[in-house]
Structure 1
Amino acid sequence: MFTKKHNECVGFESCWKVKRVYSVSDTQTSDFEVADKTVNTTPKECIMVQTDPLPTPSLIEGVDMNKVAGFLKELYPDMKKAIDDCNNSKAFVGYRKRLDKDEVNCKLLQTFGYSKLIEESGDEGAKRVSCMSWNQSGQSLACCRGFEHESWCYHRGTVYVYTMASNGKFSDQPKKVLNADNCVVSIKFHPTRSGLLAGTTYSGNIIVWNLQNNNGEEAVISKNVHDELVTQVSWTNDVDPEKSILLATTSTDGLLKLWRFNPLGKTQDDMLSLRVRYKIKPPLLNNGNVRKAEESEEYPRNVVMKDTNGVVCFDFSKHFPDTFLVGLEGGFVVQCSLLGATELKGSTKANPLFDPSFKYYEPVEGEIVSLAFSPNRKDQFLTYGTNAEIRIYLIGQEDPAQMIFLKTGLLDVTFVPFEDKLLAGCGANGFMEVFHIQSAERIATGTEEPVKKSVSTSISINCSRNNLVAIGKANGDVQLWNVPWSSLQNRFD
């Protein structure tokens, strides 16, 4: 069961230390080869256009263009009504953008103008900025300078047109200098054609400049349209929406004229033709109370005895194209209607004359300086007179709904677009003044920049960017301001 067996031992060599074999060399990497070539990149071919040219659309043959024109005429009234309803919508009346605390004050962005040009030319008289107008795009500002006149004008008129640079500022050197036979009283850019500028002069002329003409012949129309001083010019919509925009002028001869403007006309008579003439009578003559007015001290005797009261200013409603306001000499405020005008006695078929007077409001004690419809409310307008009173009227109410009494006089007053409770003006104080309509109080603008005090003669709000405000000065300068209207109104809301 048990056995004994003897096996021999198997041995093997044992090494407790191994000798490492190594070699010494300068580099531990293999050598690399270098070959020089003249061109190390693949050749490329440059071409001017890297995309396929777009196919030119071909006109469809056999299209009746008369039918297309008829279709567009039928479509235009509905489209215009929809656009007007959208523009006049009150959906965002109560909306106020939240601004930072450092944006509640007005900021002077720039002071520019032609005061330096006046000093260089040595013409010390023509400094006053009499009128300003922004173009439709809000990139160009037209300014006219003039003299203080005691009688007839014998001066040369000049209009300077400045264009805003990419940094949002103007250059001291104007892009265009437009000349006239005598001082320019009023200027206004076309509402849709940003290159057309209309102006009026002391001699009764109307001038239309095309700023896109670079051959030195910017004046495409220069025509005598009134017997006396042309007080104001403005573009307005025709009652018929299918027709083009009309040009309106007023004068101290007591007439308001509407003109058809055709930029494609070959002659000046074709480009500017008379559409209708209006003569606005003062309320005393219409009511037959001349003798009663002569005995009263409420109206100046020279105004009562005058046969024709000149038109000082006017404004057409943005909401109702047939309604407009007229300010007459003597402080009379008249609401007029294009559709309800009556033909006056003595007018002929060749030269008809109409009276558009519809309603008379409480006259201003003095002369009217500014008169304007509200762009925000269709039933509201303002008047400002030499008695330093701002009056807010409602359509249909003879007495003013609100009055703002001022200590110092203003030379220009206007509504603030999209802010139905604010008014802005400028005058003898030398800076812009903002008023709250409901409270009849002046709002502090918080101006911190040191501004050289000079009488402010004109104010104009940019139609594209309402926060930009231009103020014309009596020394020939123009100030560009950044005004946070919403923050100013929120101080009272």
Structure 2
Amino acid sequence: MGLNSNFFGFLSVIFRLGDGDWSTEKSYVCTWNLDRRGFNPNHPDVVLDVASSVMCLAFHPSRPSLLAGGLFNGEVLVWDTSRTDDPHIGRSGLSVDSHMDAVYQVRWLQEVPQSHRLQLLSVSSDGKILVWQMEKEGQLVLHNGFALVSQQMPSNSKVNKHGWGDAAVGVTCLSSSHFDPSVFVVGVEGGYLLKCSTAVQTAALATVTSSIPLKAPAQFAFSPHGGPVYSVDCSPFHRNLFLSAGTDGHAHLYSMLQEKPLTSLQLSQKYLFSIQWSPVRPLVFAAASGEGELLLFDFGRSSQKPSLSIKQTVNEKPVYCLEFNRTQTQLLAAGDGDGMVKIWQLSSDYTEQGAREMNLLDELAGAAAD
């Protein structure tokens, strides 16, 4: 299940989590508009029928009718939900350029000024980070790309010391810096967080097949989680801070300036599936747990314990995803293992920035230099 909010509402993707071939299992992408007159939570405004399991979704940041999705079979699709006849407007297809494994995240990039072409990025467990450009014919064409190969991992990681040679390092999540668009952080299946750059010129090893040369972006490795990383998010308020969450149940707060996390918080005895900074409170983040809880953490109140725990599911089904609404900032959506999307309304404690909040965030980040 995936979740993403836009200016008007939210969406969810639904598929079966049980047995079966995920590459051929149909799934449904549903959108709701919370501001629509006659809003009915049991009847979505748009239902998109997809032939393979949809793993991730992303609304375009300024054109909210445009929606990108990544599939289990490696494809990337684009829909225009304002079109009632045929919303499907773009497809990467399956070729030597496409992902060979499931797509775990898609993200829109800034449009190319000269061509006004739409661009988006996708990451996969096949180790590739691909940049797609929308062509007029409705095809997504590979425009740029990167690949993580174990032999080319940073020297301060142990990924390249396990005898894996030139094996691909599966990418599970990505977040770009809000202050430098060339910098991004990825989480990988081995538990590492890698600082990467789009400005690199080093070619990825030739074992990674593609019609265009792929580059090796990894520059620095951070101390790993105890298992695969499921979510990473760069702070929108501080250039050096980012959060991560993984299968070890820990949330890590890192500085770009040092290898070890500034703090490690065990927020779940099971997995943490998603983590995200508040778009309006610099010291606040939310996390989704395997015990069915939605956790809100405020560093201004405590450096060790969540300030609020919301029991989303009574049967301890996991909360898989969450999303702050960046326009209606009092709203927080979360999707769970019961197939439910719940919208929570936050109090002003979590939506109004305190007087010294940025100073406290700077102090927190300053611990990296101590």
- For the aligned pair, the TM-score class normalised by the smaller chain equals 0.7 to 0.9
Q: For structure 2, list consecutive stretches of 5 or more residues without a partner in the other structure.
A: 358-370
Larger radius of gyration: 1
After superposition, the Cα gap between the structure-2 partners of 1:420 and 1:450, relative to the gap in structure 1 and judged at 3 Å, is closer
How far apart are 1:236 and its partner, in Å? 2.2
Q: Which residue does the alignment assign to 2:287?
A: 425
How far apart are 1:165 and its partner, in Å? 3.6
Deviations 1:60-97 (A, max 9, x none): xxxxxxxxxxxxxxxxxxxxxxxxxxxxxxxxxxxxxx
Letter in 2 for 1:441: Q
How far apart are 1:337 and its partner, in Å? 0.8
Distance, in Å, in 2 between the alignment partners of 1:306 and 1:335 is 19
Counterpart pick for 2:141 among 248, 273, 278: 273
The structure carrying a bigger helix percent of its residues is 1
Letter in 2 for 1:423: F
Counterpart pick for 2:230 among 369, 377, 396: 369
Letter in 2 for 1:414: Q
Is 1:404 the equivalent of 2:265? yes
Is 1:134 the equivalent of 2:134? no
Letter in 1 for 2:78: V
Q: Which residue does the alignment assign to 2:33?
A: 163
Relative contact order, CA 8 A, sep 6+: which one is greater?
A: 1
Q: Which residue does the alignment assign to 2:215?
A: 354
State the SS of the aligned residue for 2:242. strand
How far apart are 1:412 and its partner, in Å? 1.5
State the SS of the aligned residue for 2:79. strand
Deviations 1:116-174 (A, max 9, x none): xxxxxxxxxxxxxx111112x2x121100122266741311111111224579653101
How far apart are 1:365 and its partner, in Å? 1.6
Distance, in Å, in 2 between the alignment partners of 1:289 and 1:402 is 19
Q: Which residue does the alignment assign to 1:114?
A: none
Letter in 1 for 2:62: T
Distance, in Å, in 2 between the alignment partners of 1:450 and 1:206 is 30
Distance, in Å, in 1 between the alignment partners of 2:325 and 2:132 is 26
Counterpart pick for 1:221 among 90, 109, 123: 90
Q: What is the Cα-based RMSD across aligned positions, in Å?
A: 3.2
Q: Which residue does the alignment assign to 1:445?
A: 308
Counterpart pick for 1:208 among 75, 78, 83: 78
The structure carrying a bigger strand percent of its residues is 2
Q: Which residue does the alignment assign to 1:326?
A: 186
How far apart are 1:306 and its partner, in Å? 7.6
Task: Note if contact 1:251-1:312 (Cα within 8 Å) is conserved in structure 2.
Answer: yes
Deviations 1:192-229 (A, max 9, x none): 111111111111111111111111x1111232321221
Distance, in Å, in 2 between the alignment partners of 1:169 and 1:186 is 25
Match runs of 1:192-341 below 5 Å: 192-215=62-85, 217-222=86-91, 223-224=93-94, 225-237=98-110, 246-262=119-135, 265=136, 267-269=137-139, 272-282=140-150, 287=155, 293-294=161-162, 304=164, 307-341=167-201
Distance, in Å, in 2 between the alignment partners of 1:196 and 1:388 is 34
State the SS of the aligned residue for 1:342. coil
Distance, in Å, in 1 between the alignment partners of 2:154 and 2:338 is 43
How far apart are 1:360 and its partner, in Å? 1.4
Task: Note if contact 1:381-1:394 (Cα within 8 Å) is conserved in structure 2.
Answer: yes
Is 1:342 the equivalent of 2:217? no
Letter in 2 for 1:174: P
Deviations 1:436-474 (A, max 9, x none): 336333344387x99745532211111211111111121
Distance, in Å, in 1 between the alignment partners of 2:222 and 2:160 is 18
After superposition, the Cα gap between the structure-2 partners of 1:487 and 1:234, relative to the gap in structure 1 and judged at 3 Å, is closer
Q: For structure 1, list consecutive stretches of 5 or more residues without a partner in the other structure.
A: 1-129, 295-300
Distance, in Å, in 2 between the alignment partners of 1:442 and 1:168 is 40
Letter in 2 for 1:209: W
How far apart are 1:349 and its partner, in Å? 10
Q: Which residue does the alignment assign to 2:366?
A: none
TM-score, normalisation: structure 2: 0.83
How far apart are 1:261 and its partner, in Å? 2.5
How far apart are 1:401 and its partner, in Å? 1.1
After superposition, the Cα gap between the structure-2 partners of 1:334 and 1:428, relative to the gap in structure 1 and judged at 3 Å, is closer
Letter in 2 for 1:132: L
Counterpart pick for 1:181 among 51, 56, 72: 51
After superposition, the Cα gap between the structure-2 partners of 1:253 and 1:167, relative to the gap in structure 1 and judged at 3 Å, is same
After superposition, the Cα gap between the structure-2 partners of 1:177 and 1:168, relative to the gap in structure 1 and judged at 3 Å, is closer
Task: Note if contact 1:434-1:442 (Cα within 8 Å) is conserved in structure 2.
Answer: no
How far apart are 1:289 and its partner, in Å? 8.8
